[in-house]
């Protein structure tokens, strides 16, 4: 088989993977999926309402045409790159993938072009409310780094924490956000074609390769039994009519997602929740240590009493022998 035939077969294979397995293994989280993600993330990180973490990854494009190199290059990358925006949960499952933006863009530019919030804007998203610190919020959120805007669906760490609550939340948030970095690392190590620069002129073929690798990655997770959520073919989902782009409700949904006040309130409530749980855990540990210490002292006291009783018996025996 010639090299060109092998490449053509690879591109056709990637298109087939996307067509056959894409609807299942690159699906948006359903209501049941979101409930399971809430439970697992709260149990592992103590963050109620967490769906996953969002970030971007660059894939080097060695065969980028010279006429396009300017828009696909950035100062911190020596070669042209194409950007992947993705959302991953703690099991490294990719719930969202948006690939194809030129490498000269930053994460905010990619987010503005992404379709991640289109369902929310159009009123057809699967919103699952959650409660934190006694306050009910309409939908879940994604953990982000500092460059992302202050949206109501994003939770960022405090940039300059000045008290114990914010310091503790910053540590928890940054630790949980490593899931997306781990997912990118596993994806590159698992598929050598992504680890190395892309070697084709056609950017459409590069897109199909990236999406196919992400789908195969999710298939492997499910086959190994590491996936949190299982696909339920019998789950009935509502299919409301999408809102028009010029309607008042569409604009209201867009404003709600971009609300800075909701972002700050959610982050403050999460900080209070994490701090309170940490303090309660410390109190429980201290009580357990005190309980163990009390038990040890009681055992030592009982042992001392037994030793004294034995000494008294020995003394009585010795007095009796003298008589």
pLDDT at site 33: 93
How far apart CA 12 and CA 28 sit, in angstroms, is 25
Contact between residue 79 and residue 102 where contact means Cβ atoms under 8 Å apart:
no
175 assigned to some structural domain: yes
Please give the mean pLDDT across all residues of the chain. 87
Q: For 169-196, what is each residue's pLDDT tens digit?
A: 999 999 999 999 999 999 999 999 999 9
| pLDDT tens by residue, 193-242 | 999 999 899 999 999 999 999 999 999 999 999 999 988 877 766 666 77
pLDDT confidence of residue 322: 46
Assigned token pair, 240: 């409301």
Q: How confident is the model over 51-60, as pLDDT tens digits?
A: 999 999 999 9
Q: How many domains does the chain have?
A: 1
In a domain? residue 104: yes
- Whether 199 is covered by a domain: the verdict is yes
Residues 81, 261: Cα–Cα separation, whole Å: 35
pLDDT confidence bin for 4, thresholds 50/70/90: confident
pLDDT in tens, 106-149: 999 999 999 999 999 988 888 899 999 999 999 999 999 989 99
**Is residue 317 situated within a structural domain?**
no
User: In this structure, is residue 306 part of a structural domain?
Assistant: no
What is the C-alpha R_g of the chain? 29
Top pLDDT among 94 and 287 is at 94
Full residue range of the structural domain in which residue 275 is found: 3-233+244-280
The better pLDDT of the pair 2, 140 is held by 140
Please report whether residue 194 resides in a domain: yes
Give residue 230's pLDDT: 87
Q: What percent of the chain has pLDDT over 90?
A: 68
Task: Please indicate, yes or no, if residue 297 is contained in any of the structural domains.
Answer: no
Residues 6+ apart with CB under 8 A from 249: 123, 243
């Amino acid at each position: 088989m010639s090299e060109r035939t092998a490449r053509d077969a690879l591109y056709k294979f990637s298109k087939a993977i996307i067509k056959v397995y894409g609807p299942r293994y690159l699906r948006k989280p359903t209501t049941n999926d979101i409930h399971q993600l809430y439970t697992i993330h709260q149990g592992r990180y103590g963050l109620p309402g967490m769906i996953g973490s969002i970030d971007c990854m660059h894939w080097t494009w060695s065969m980028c045409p010279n006429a396009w190199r300017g828009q696909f290059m950035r100062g911190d990358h020596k070669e042209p790159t194409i950007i992947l925006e993705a959302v991953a949960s703690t099991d490294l499952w990719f719930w969202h993938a948006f690939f194809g933006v030129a490498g000269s863009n930053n994460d905010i530019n990619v987010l503005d072009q992404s379709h991640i919030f289109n369902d929310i804007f159009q009123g057809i998203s699967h919103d699952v409310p959650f409660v934190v610190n006694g306050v009910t919020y309409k939908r879940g959120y994604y953990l982000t780094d500092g460059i992302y805007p202050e949206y109501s669906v994003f939770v960022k760490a405090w940039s300059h924490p000045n008290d114990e609550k914010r310091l503790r939340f910053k540590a928890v948030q940054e630790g949980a956000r490593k899931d997306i970095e781990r997912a990118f690392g596993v994806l590159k190590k698992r598929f050598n074609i992504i680890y190395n620069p892309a070697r084709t002129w056609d950017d459409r073929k590069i897109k199909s390769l990236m999406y196919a690798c992400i789908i195969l990655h999710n298939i492997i997770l499910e086959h190994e039994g590491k996936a949190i959520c299982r696909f339920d073919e019998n789950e009935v989902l509502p299919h409301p009519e999408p809102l028009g782009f010029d309607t008042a409700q569409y604009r209201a949904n867009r404003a709600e997602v971009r609300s800075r006040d909701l972002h700050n309130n959610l982050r403050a409530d999460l900080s209070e929740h994490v701090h309170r749980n940490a303090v309660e855990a410390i109190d429980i540990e201290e009580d357990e240590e005190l309980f163990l210490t009390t038990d040890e002292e009681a055992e030592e006291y009982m042992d001392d009493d037994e030793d004294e009783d034995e000494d008294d018996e020995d003394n009585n025996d010795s007095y009796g022998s003298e008589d």
